[in-house]
Amino acid sequence: MEQIVTGEAVVLDLPCARFPARILSRIIDMAVELVAFSIIAILVGAGESSGTLDSATGSALIIAGFVLVIVGYPVTFETLSRGRTLGKLALGLRVVADDGGPERFRHALVRALAGSVECWALIGVPALITSILSARGKRLGDIFAGTFVLRERAPRSAPPSYLAVPAGSGMVMAGVTLIDPALRPWAASLDLSALPDALAESAASYLSRYWQLNSGPRDTLGRQLATDVAARVSPPPPPGLAPVAYLHTVLAERRNRAFARLMPWSRLALVACSTVCCSFL
């Protein structure tokens, strides 16, 4: 089986960055770029004054320096930091692909080339218009590159409480993870000896981030994980059991058995805690 990759841990349910936050981050980046370009211009001017450089060479270096700063700065920072420049880092923003994946070099290059026109040549007017009209606050560079900017520092909402099985919530009492009473007999009969640790860790990571993922990718990944786990665990799940409930039950039983090996009295605690707590669910 190929190793399951759960992504780059980009939080998809965080809100998109709106224009005020983006313009502040852009002002910071432009200030950095102006300082860098000023240093280059000073060095070139000093070279021309000392006779080391002629005027033609100095002009070529000025142009090359301008391109290097305006395009090279955002491309380098966003590629190496997966979507953040100094301005975005200061404002808690990050550029991600439309599918929620990390920004790549090609995304950063397209954004930087478009930004040199819309933000510098046209003083940000197209960026303002498209950012206001776009549902995700996209400027032209984001539209061309297939990216958008999100806020990483937004407060996270509490998970809904209507889920019958506390998947991913880590409902643990005295080291015992609770299991739906209706699934307890089936869970007790599970053969977990063939379940590899890597697959169990991937499923646990998925459950811990369940409420942080978009519903589409979340459901697809859940079905894939449930299929892989079911191929190594017997007996098969009851008909109609949702993938998230199946994964939670398997991992909860696996954890409870490990706990029982360490604490002989935990089986009694499991029954008592499950009976008491599930009566309030």
How much is the pLDDT for 132?
86
pLDDT tens profile 87-125 = 999 999 999 888 777 899 999 999 999 999 998 989 888
Identify the pLDDT of residue 255.
Answer: 83
| Cβ–Cβ < 8 Å for 22, 95 | no
Q: According to the per-residue pLDDT averaged within each range, which of 76-80, 171-175, 243-247, 251-255 is highest?
A: 76-80
The β-bridge partners of 151 are: 93
CA 190 vs CA 64, 107, 270: distances in Å: 66, 46, 16
More confident residue, 12 or 22: 22
Token pair listed for 186 = 């089936």
User: What pLDDT does residue 154 have?
Assistant: 55
DSSP state of 183: G
| Residues 10, 11, 14: CA angle, nearest 5 degrees | 140
Read off the pLDDT band of 169 (50, 70, 90).
Answer: very low
Look at residue 135 in the predicted model and tell me its pLDDT. 81
Q: How far apart are CA 76 and CA 8, in angstroms?
A: 19
Q: Which of 59-63, 161-165, 241-245 has the lowest mean pLDDT?
A: 161-165
Q: What's the distance, CA 195 to chain centroid?
A: 27
pLDDT of 80 higher than 50: yes
Domain ranges across the chain: 19-151, 172-278
For 179, list phi and psi in degrees, rounded to 5: -125, 145
Mean pLDDT throughout 61-67?
A: 94
pTM, 2 dp: 0.54
Lowest mean pLDDT among 172-186, 196-210, 229-243: 172-186
Please determine, for residue 8, whether its predicted confidence score (pLDDT) is greater than 60: no
